[in-house]
Structure 1
Amino acid sequence: MTEPLAAVVAVVAVTGASALGAAVVGGVFFAFSGFVMRALGDTTPSAGLAVMQAINRTAVRPPLMITLFGTLLAGLAACILLVVTPAGPALWWAVAGEAVYLVGVIGLTVGFHVPRNNAIDRLDAGSTDAVPEWSTYLTEWTRGNHVRALAGVIAAVLFGIAAGLASTL
């Protein structure tokens, strides 16, 4: 161990927190892909749409937002710490984790899911006119969410590898 212990602990802690955050976010998205969206699709369109509208309004609150964007910031901090604490290959694993998280989780959330969520929020859940839009939303949103879940898990693994490598500094 050539780096001061405090520096190694800080690097491993922040990189490990990034791994944990990405895993939690990936797990939330996995739960939606695995059973929440399926359950909403098994209900009547008006009930599924109304519940999803409520979920989308509830999701934009501190627990999810702090975890979602806090993980992005923790990953950035991990990358910076790995630059200033010469970490060799740990840096590149963390950069890969941050890139996967940024594109596959944050990018898809902001560029793909939020616009769809906003569009269905404007629908009248009790209207038969909303049924085709709900059906399309359900299919497209869930497919995109599979990607987000996988990206969260991949980012968690990459950050985990970076933390493991950093622990040997």
Structure 2
Amino acid sequence: MTDGPLVALTLLAVLGTGLVAGVFFAFSSFVMRALASLPPAQGAAAMQSVNRTVLNPVFLGVFAGTALLSVALVVLSIVRGGGAWLLAGAVSYLAGTFILTRMVHVPRNDALMRVAADSAEGAEFWTGYVPAWTRWNHVRMLASLTSCAFFVIALVNS
């Protein structure tokens, strides 16, 4: 990989996947534990606030931008041949992070947004939400981190 633009795209993918992995690591290692330690109404309300706040240009730019970079790197790794590390990194991010978020986390977050945090229904929903959301977050954190590692290997081997 001596092509300047390909190196630049791969470096951007390293940064994007690393940032996203860091966000998910924070949620897996302490944010969800902190929210779960609150009374259910407070924890649910705090997570509802997080779910509203995360929909901003900075986070979405990195999250979706890294998915777009991954698509470009899939195409380039296929067209140029020999880009197994690029392909692995891109597929790991797209499947294990981006698609998983859309298929698992977005529906759960949308369902949380539909309940009143201070209601009995909200408390019951919150009790099941936290462990399931967190388990799947571990998966997307590991996928993002793995993707980052694969992109770094592609750069090192270039």
Q: TM-score range by the shorter chain?
A: over 0.9
Helix, strand or coil at the partner of 2:157:
helix
Q: In structure 2, what is the equivalent of residue 25 of structure 1?
A: 20
Matches within 5 A, 1:1-169: 8-83=3-78, 86=80, 88=82, 91-166=83-158
Q: 1:30 offset after TM fit, Å?
A: 0.5
Helix, strand or coil at the partner of 1:129:
helix
Q: Which is higher, the Rg of structure 1 or of structure 2?
A: 1
Asked if 2 retains the 8 angstrom alpha-carbon contact of 1:29 and 1:146, the reply is: yes
Asked if 2 retains the 8 angstrom alpha-carbon contact of 1:29 and 1:149, the reply is: yes
5+ long unaligned stretches in structure 1: none
The 2-side partners of 1:141 and 1:53 are apart by: 13
Helix, strand or coil at the partner of 1:111:
helix
Residue identity over aligned pairs, in percent, reads 42
The one-letter code of the counterpart of 1:65 is: L
Asked if 1 retains the 8 angstrom alpha-carbon contact of 2:74 and 2:91, the reply is: no
Q: 1:82 offset after TM fit, Å?
A: 4.3
The one-letter code of the counterpart of 1:44 is: P
5+ long unaligned stretches in structure 2: none
Relative to the length of structure 1, the TM-score reads 0.88
CA-atom RMSD in angstroms: 1.6
Q: Which moved more, 1:9-18 or 1:111-120?
A: 9-18
